[in-house]
Structure 1
Amino acid sequence: MQQPECASPFWAKVQRIVGRIGFGAKGVVYGLVGGMTVASGSKLNDKDYEESPKGAFVLIGDAPSGSGALFILLLALWCYSIWRFWECFTYRGRDATFSATKNFFRFRLSPFVSGCVYIAYSYYIITMLLNNYENKEPSCYPNCWRDSVLGRTMLVIMGIAFLIACITQLQNAFTGKWHSEIDWHRANKKWEKWLLLTLGHIGYLGRAGIFVFVATLEFKALKHPVQQSGDQFADGLSQLLGSTSGRIAMIFTGLCTLIFGVFCLLCVIYRQFPTPPPSGKPYVGKK
């Protein structure tokens, strides 16, 4: 797969380093979220950690030398955001065979939103490092949003946004959309290719599951108050605990999410940085 041209070999190397560090952090976060989701669904989460990135940060912070580990994770998450913003503003990956709209959503909007999400994650780590997290009152979201027209409108928008995110992850799970991002020259052994393909497709199912359950929570909140902790990911998954079938779905989602974390860790080695155009034909023209 042909790599898109970069401004210089030096900055291409910097982007590869930053992207790989960021993907390592992403793998750790999703691996922990998946593990805690499985533990909650199996009723093994005796310390009641939330099944979300925030819960993962609390788990790390509670470990010996947790503050140091959180600080390292904070820097790594910043690397991920920097890489995503970098790709957004340079329009990295833009494909000559794609329409302008498809290029915009996939290679401009998507990395920008992703970068913002991981900046938000880093905010939780900073509050924990400053010992402000436990002193904060839990958010009244989403129930308090039901009390106004603007709030209910935002619940609808958030629900639709998470459904779109779910559909995007399902595309990754059932198509080869992400295959062009892997450096298959590195994965030159048959077992490496099958490992990446298997973990990737299963892993994206886990992300799709999380997003659809959060979307369901948003729409439920329009009709009646829902269980809330201020953490939409944890609340979206916790609504499954009321039945055996729900717990099975929760365990399945957690296992797939854990697998996605492992896949992200493998991407540190096997993914291409910067992101290449899927067809191998970079767009040439004004940015």
Structure 2
Amino acid sequence: MEIMARLGYGARGIVYCLVGGLALLAAFGSGGQTGGSKSALQSLLSQPFGKVWLSAIALGLFGFAAWRIVEALTDADHRGTEWKALGVRAAHLVSGGIYASLALFAVNLALGSGGGGGEDQAAQSWTAWLLSQPFGQWLVGLIGAGIAATGIGFAWKGWKGDVMDHLALPSGTDGWVRPLGRLGYAARGVVFCLVGIFLILAALHSNSSEVRGLGGALQSVQAQPFGWLLLGIVAAGLFAFGVFGLVQARYRHLDAPDLNDARNAVADGMQALKPGR
């Protein structure tokens, strides 16, 4: 499990490096693209050994998805069973599902099946379905508010939080790792806030075409006055978060639970969710 988790952090880091690097090139007119994670993975197909890279990244992303799910269910990071901790663990559970989906996309690309549509298209499709359900507008709005709140949390962590949490670094490395983490979390905060705002607008207008994913958020930054500069700053932050992910892959403290600990932790979490606690 620890090996899977470390491969996962590394694979996530590579994806963010690709997204940020391509967006940096686009910001300064040197090619590149303002796409999301799926577009970044598609760009590997034209590179030497592209399918091999995609297969390796897919394996790592499956590992990261598995670790996120185990981490959420067993409280491997010892967050506890208070409501705030349970909220973080629930977010990690959702994250596991998202990265499993991205891993499947990478596998399909490597196998030559195309991988399906882009992130914006996928987001608009599920939003359209959700809007058609009873109380759909409220649900989409709540999801958007939750994503925006997550973005604010990331931005706060980049500014004031402990980005070095769970890292066991060699002496003398804090001076460059900490700024990487701060810049990376701040950039993630910006794009998460934008994605959340797009969802809230879609809910208000009952129009799924207003939804944007990561790529759409970057394009909206680029469309602003001095957009090339703003995009360059956000893209540099995403690239920094990718490098920070590679550091996490090597130096993050991981406490993978054994089977009995996992069962007990899941039971404790279920008990904490019971009414009246």
TM-score range, shorter chain: 0.7 to 0.9
Which stretch has the larger CA shift, 51-60 or 139-148? 139-148
Q: What corresponds to 1:8 in structure 2?
A: none
Alignment counterpart, residue 13 of structure 2, candidates 14, 27, 31: 27
- Write the deviation string for residues 40-70 of structure 1: whole angstroms up to 9, x where unpaired: 2333336xx4521101110112212211111
User: Do the aligned residues in 1 keep the contact of 2:195 with 2:212 (CA within 8 Å)?
Assistant: no
Alignment counterpart, residue 148 of structure 2, candidates 155, 163, 176: 163
The alpha-carbon distance between structure 1 residues 206 and 141, as it changes in their structure 2 partners (threshold 3 A), is: closer
The alpha-carbon distance between structure 1 residues 227 and 248, as it changes in their structure 2 partners (threshold 3 A), is: farther
1:179 aligns with 2:164: yes
Taking the aligned partners of 2:24 and 2:85, their CA distance within structure 1 comes to: 36
Which residue identity does 1:101 align to in structure 2? W
- Write the deviation string for residues 208-233 of structure 1: whole angstroms up to 9, x where unpaired: 111112123223434496977x8611
Q: What corresponds to 2:171 in structure 1?
A: 188
Aligned CA RMSD, in angstroms, stands at 3.2
1:52 aligns with 2:36: yes
* TM-score, L = length of structure 1: 0.77
Taking the aligned partners of 2:205 and 2:100, their CA distance within structure 1 comes to: 32
Q: Whose RCO is larger (CA < 8 A, sep 6+)?
A: 1
Alignment counterpart, residue 214 of structure 2, candidates 233, 238, 247: 233
| Unaligned residue ranges in structure 1 (runs of 5+) | 1-14, 277-282
1:253 aligns with 2:234: yes
- Write the deviation string for residues 156-191 of structure 1: whole angstroms up to 9, x where unpaired: 1332122022022123212334433111xx4222xx
User: Do the aligned residues in 1 keep the contact of 2:180 with 2:243 (CA within 8 Å)?
Assistant: yes
* TM-score, L = length of structure 2: 0.79
User: Do the aligned residues in 2 keep the contact of 1:85 with 1:112 (CA within 8 Å)?
Assistant: yes
User: Do the aligned residues in 1 keep the contact of 2:73 with 2:266 (CA within 8 Å)?
Assistant: no
- Write the deviation string for residues 11-31 of structure 1: whole angstroms up to 9, x where unpaired: xxxx33222111110110011
Taking the aligned partners of 1:285 and 1:87, their CA distance within structure 2 comes to: 10
